[in-house]
Each structure stands twice: as C-alpha cells, then as structure tokens.
Amino acid sequence: MTTNNQPTPRTQVKRLPERGAYDHETIYSILDQAFLCHVGFVADGQPFVIPTGYGRAEDTLYIHGSTASRMLRSLEKSIPVCVTVTLLDGLVLARSAFHHSMNYRSVVILGSATVVAEREEKLRALRAVSEQIIPGRWDYVRQPSEQELKATIVLALPLAEASAKIRTGPPHDEAEDYALEIWAGVLPLHTVVEEPATDPELRVAVPCPAHVRSYLAPGRR
C-alpha cells in the first residue's frame, strides 16, 4: 500500500510542482535502484557536499565510513544534513537551446543523522549498505572484525522528511519551434556492467561467484 508523506515547507517541490512525489513507494523505489548519494552539511562555517555509498532498511538510510572522516565526525553531532540521490535516465534534446533538459528520478532527504552504537544494529546497517551495492556479497565475504567495527562510524538518517522529483518524456518546445527543421528527442542513458576483472593477487583459482556474474546495473535491477 502506498503511504503518502505530507510535504514540509522544506521538501515541497516549488519549481514544476507536478513533478514532485511524496509517497513512500516512489521515494523508496528510487533509493533502492541506486547506492551512491551526495551528503551536504556545514562544518565550521564551510559547506561540503561529499559522495558516499548508502543502504536503505525500511524507513532509515544508513551511511558509514572511517572514524577519521570529517563528514561523519561532523554528522555524528546531529547537525542538519541534506542527502540527495539521482538516477539519470536520458538527455532531452529540444529544438531550442533553452528547452534542453534531462530525464531523471531524484530524492532529497533532510534531517539529522544519529550514531548507530549497538553492535548488532551496526552490523545490520553495514549489511544493508553492502547489499544495496551488490546483493549477495555480505554473506560471501569475511565479516568485519571487532577492530574494523571500532574503526567504522555508522550513521542512521530517518526518511521522515523526503521528496522525489521526476522528469520523463520528450522535450517541451515553444509552439512556434515545432515547425523548425531541427531534430529533437531523447537520448536514453544506462549504466553498463562489463565483465568482472579478477584481482591479480588472487592466490587460488576461485571462480567468480554467481552474485557477481549475475549483477545488473543499479538503475535497471
């Protein structure tokens, strides 16, 4: 069942509001087809936007990194954060330079992150991040040691204040421009997964596992 969020003044889509969406089904479907986000925050008066991997579990977004990370050390203080995720679907080529655009699906999340301190929850969060990037990998590899867990910060960001914005379809030109002899349309874009490249340091003849061989592009799962 689709659950609708009420947009807040901060998440209400102002520019082309008909492209906005606030229901969990739409927001979560976009988040689940990606694994790279950009985290915006202010530290010591300086704005930063940092790309990082993430994982979603129910209504929480998890990010992680080294305890030495300036981003994570700043965010663990529960400062305001803005996280964005974008899937680029195509270049929209119009008849005029002004009306060129892109087809995309995006999510903006606002809030404050909290530290995941409890060991089992931390492991579940790390598993969520791993499975978001490549399903099946977590159970295949060695699990984190206690030392590795201590060297890792995991932050949880609730998906309570979020919105999606989506553009689809052909270009929208001025009425008088449709008669111009100029090609217009959409150039679709997709992430392409190539053949796995074996680590040259592989000590034994280990076959490439099924979860790697069957991997599909994040935007096309």
Q: Is the pLDDT of residue 131 over 90?
A: yes
Is CATH 2.30.110.10 what the domain over 17-220 is classified as, yes or no?
yes
Are the beta carbons of 24 and 30 closer than 8 angstroms?
no
Rounded CA gap, 141 and 144, in Å? 9
How large is the average pLDDT for residues 48-75? 90
Q: Closest Cα to residue 102, out of 38, 164, 167?
A: 167
pTM of the model as a whole: 0.88
**pLDDT 10s digits, 105-124:** 999 999 999 999 899 999 99
Rounded CA gap, 165 and 126, in Å? 28
In the prediction, which pLDDT does 219 show?
54
Confidence of residue 14 (pLDDT cuts 50, 70, 90): confident
In the prediction, which pLDDT does 204 show?
86
